[in-house]
Amino acid sequence: MLLHIIARGKIGRSPEAELVDRYARRLTMPFRITELPDRGGKLPPAPPGTVTVMLDEKGRQLSSIDFARRIEGWRDSGKRECRFLIGAADGFDDAERDNADLLIAFGAMTWPHMMARAMLAEQLWRACSILAGHPYHREG
């Protein structure tokens, strides 16, 4: 299953971009990042069997284990792609939220899109590590 981050805004050459790259290189599942302009620009076409996860302040707060189990369930049920949408400064409207399969939040605070992208890349790597039984992640 392809893990696909689709983010508004350009991350450029920044410390956050280095973090995203560091975690992307460690992923054991196929991975892609698509950047869209802050406004406009269309999402790439979604192949059949795509799950859409939106990072949104109104989303659920999942533990890393719960996040990994969601990815595992989608992967094992034959989903071809899991898209993670990161919005621009104004976030998403209600119609966009309604089209998502899952809304998640990294806490109640608002995060800049560059930080959200780095945190998401880390959580995707952590989820792959959890699913592989790697001892790095500890619950406690």
Binding site annotation covers 125? Answer: no
* pLDDT value at 136 more than 70: no
12 annotated as ligand-binding:
no
Does 133 show up as a binding residue in the annotation?
Answer: no
pLDDT in tens, 46-100: 999 999 999 998 899 999 999 999 999 999 999 999 999 998 777 777 888 889 9
Check the annotation: does 110 bind a ligand. Answer: yes
Question: 87 a known binding residue?
Answer: yes
pTM: 0.91
Is 9 marked as a binding-site residue? no
111 is in an annotated binding site: yes
Considering the segment(s) 2-131 as one domain, its CATH architecture is 3-Layer(aba) Sandwich (3.40)
Read off φ and ψ for residue 19, nearest 5 degrees.
-65, -45
Identify the burial level of 140 via C-beta atoms within 10 angstroms of its C-beta, where 0-12 means exposed, 13-18 middle and 19 or more buried: exposed
Q: Is 107 annotated as a binding residue?
A: yes
Contacts of 79 (CB under 8 A, 6+ apart): 1, 49, 50, 51
Q: Tell me the pLDDT of the chain averaged across its residues.
A: 91
Residue 58's H or E segment, with its range, is strand 50-60
